[in-house]
Amino acid sequence: MKRVVGHEGEITGLVFSPDGKSIATSSRDKTVKVWDAAKGTVTRTLSDHTDAVMAVAWSKDGKRLVSASSDGTAIVWDPTTGKKQKALAGHERGLTAVAIAKDSTTVATASDDGSVRMWSAATGKELRKAEEGLAASPSLAFSPDGTRLAGAGSDKTVRVWDVVSGTIKHTLKPGDGGPLVAFSADGTRLFVSGANQVSFVELPAK
C-alpha cells in the first residue's frame, strides 16, 4: 500500500482517468490535484475555485476534467495542460455533484439550491434545467447511452431525467435510498446505496 500526501484539506472526490494512468482528487482546500497513479506523485494542481471543491469527473475521451465547487461554479479543465477551458455558472448556491455523459459532450451538476442543470462541455452554455431538482444531491450518473440522468437526494428520493428535454422519466423511492447512484452497464438497472446496503431498481421501459 502506498500513501500519498498533497492536499491541505479533506479529499471530497476521486476519479481515475480513462486510461488508468492518472487519478484526480477534489478537496476542501479549493484545489483539484492530478496524480501519477503508479508513482503516487502530483503532476498538476488545478486552482481557480474560491471555495471547497466537492466533486470531480473525468470525461471518457480523457480530454476534460470537471470540478464542482461550493463557490457555485463548475470548471472544465484540460487535464493535460491544467488550463481552465470553461466556467459553468448559473446555480444560486454551492455545487454538490458533477457527472459527464459517455460521449463527453454534456456535463450535469447538482446544487444545494435543489436544482440540477445540464451544460455543453465545449461551450460552457447551459443547455437546460432539469424538471424538479433534488435536495442536496451528492451523486449524479448518466446512463451508458447518455439519454438519461439519475440523481439521489438527501430525502431518499431518486429521480431519472430525460437528458434531451430535462423532463422527469421516473421518480423512485427505493426504501433506504441514497446518497449514491450508478447505472448498470446495459442501463436497465439503477443501483442505489443506502445507510448500510446497496439496492437496485429495475427501470421501466424507456
Cα distance between residue 160 and residue 189, in whole Å: 12
Residue 3 has pLDDT above 70, yes or no: no
Is the pLDDT confidence value at 8 over 70?
yes
CA distances from 20 to 37, 60, 95, 145, 202 (A): 7, 11, 26, 22, 30
Q: Domains of the chain (ranges plus CATH)?
A: 1-129 (2.130.10.10), 137-206 (2.40.10)
Contacts of 78 (CB under 8 A, 6+ apart): 63, 64, 65, 85
Closest of 191, 99, 88 to residue 142, by C-alpha:
99
Predicted TM-score (pTM) of the model is 0.90
Strands (E), 41-165: 42-46, 53-58, 65-69, 73-77, 84-89, 95-100, 106-111, 116-120, 126-129, 139-142, 148-152, 158-162
Between the alpha carbon of residue 4 and those of residues 40, 160, 189, 206, the distances in Å are: 6, 37, 35, 44
pLDDT-derived band at 138, boundaries 50, 70, 90: confident
pLDDT band at 58 (very low <50, low <70, confident <90, very high): very high
DSSP for 111-126, written as a single string: ETTS-EEEEETTT--E
pLDDT of residue 193: 81
Give dist(CA 143, CA 149) in Å, integer: 6
> How far is residue 181's CA from residue 140's CA, in Å, rounded to a whole number?
7
In this predicted model, what pLDDT tens digit does every residue of 80-114 receive, in sequence order? 999 999 999 989 899 999 999 999 999 999 998 88
Place of cell 466537492: 54
Q: Would you state the cell numbers that stand for residue 54, as one nine-digit string?
A: 466537492
Cα separation of 168 and 2, whole Å? Answer: 44
Given this model, what pLDDT does residue 172 score?
82
Under the banding of pLDDT at 50, 70 and 90, the label for residue 4 is: low
pLDDT one-digit tens code per residue, 167-205: 999 888 766 555 788 999 999 988 888 667 777 778 865
From the list 204, 201, 149, the residue with the least C-alpha distance to 175 is 201
